[in-house]
């Protein structure tokens, strides 16, 4: 069983490397996975924030170029909307969950106990840090290829662009299209005031119920809404195929 960001761990990252498709230098990969809470508890060792800063730039450039080249008929406004969707915390957190990134994070005890492995902001920041690490170790070409592999699932589903940016509105529209009432949200929170985790549940009549988490009420509701929207649209697609 892998570690959970506690002192003395030496997690096996073989599966993560396979999912990423790039063999990043172990030291750089470890740094990319090191959250500031873990760094603080271990004597102020380096954390992944500088790599995150670098990776954010690489991510934005790679996505911008791909969208520009592959969508010659889209105007600047629509291109900007799609780019913002792909690099949003909601989208990157979804990418992170798809590769099981949460279990590899190096978190401090408090962050770990308060659900840090599922926080969209932490997951998204770590994805960017990994991209930054790939750039430093392997260069721009490999880092760009990594970005495109990670966002490919979102690129292949254009409807998710609007949903990832504004999942609550997208869910409301999907509910109205099916003749259902407005989505109903319930939000609770756990943890101390300085490090709360919000848990949201949303239901659309009898059609679907979904949950989400985040570091704010809004973020948790957005995560729940995106999950519910995905389920509703998946059902519609399956029904149309059937």
Q: Confirm whether residue 152 is marked as ligand binding.
A: no
Active site residue 56: yes
Q: Confirm whether residue 41 is marked as ligand binding.
A: no
Contacts of 190 (CB under 8 A, 6+ apart): 114, 115, 196, 197, 199
**Active-site hit among 56, 166, 213, 221:** 56
**Active-site hit among 128, 166, 213, 221:** 128
What does the alpha-carbon distance between residue 28 and residue 136 come to, in Å, rounded to a whole number? Answer: 8
198, 220 contact by CB (below 8 A): yes
Q: How far is CA 56 from CA 45, 144, 147, in A?
A: 22, 12, 10
- 113: how many CB neighbours lie within 10 A of its CB? 14
113, 85 contact by CB (below 8 A): no
Annotated binding-site positions: 52, 125, 128
Catalytic residues, by residue number, are 56, 128
């Amino acid at each position: 069983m892998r570690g959970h960001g506690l002192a003395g761990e030496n997690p096996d990252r073989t599966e993560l490397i396979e999912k990423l498709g790039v063999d990043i230098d172990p030291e750089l990969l470890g740094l990319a996975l090191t959250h500031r809470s873990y760094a603080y508890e271990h004597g102020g060792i380096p954390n992944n924030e500088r790599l995150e800063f670098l990776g954010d730039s690489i991510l934005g450039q790679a996505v911008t170029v791909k969208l520009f080249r592959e969508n010659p008929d889209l105007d600047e406004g629509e291109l900007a909307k799609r780019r913002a969707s792909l690099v949003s915390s909601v989208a990157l957190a979804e990418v992170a969950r798809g590769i099981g990134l949460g279990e590899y994070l190096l978190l401090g005890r408090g962050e770990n106990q308060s659900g840090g492995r599922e926080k969209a902001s932490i997951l998204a920041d770590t994805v960017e840090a990994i991209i930054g690490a790939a750039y430093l170790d392997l260069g721009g070409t490999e880092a760009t290829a990594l970005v495109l592999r990670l966002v490919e699932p979102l690129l292949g589903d254009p409807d998710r662009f609007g949903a990832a940016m504004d999942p609550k509105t997208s869910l409301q529209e999907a509910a109205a299209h099916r003749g259902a009432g407005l989505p109903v949200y319930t939000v609770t929170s756990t943890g101390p005031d300085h490090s709360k985790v919000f848990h949201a549940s949303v239901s659309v009549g009898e059609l679907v119920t979904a949950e989400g988490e985040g570091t704010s009420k809004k973020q948790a509701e957005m995560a729940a809404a995106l999950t519910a929207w995905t389920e509703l649209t998946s059902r519609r697609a399956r029904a149309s195929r059937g």
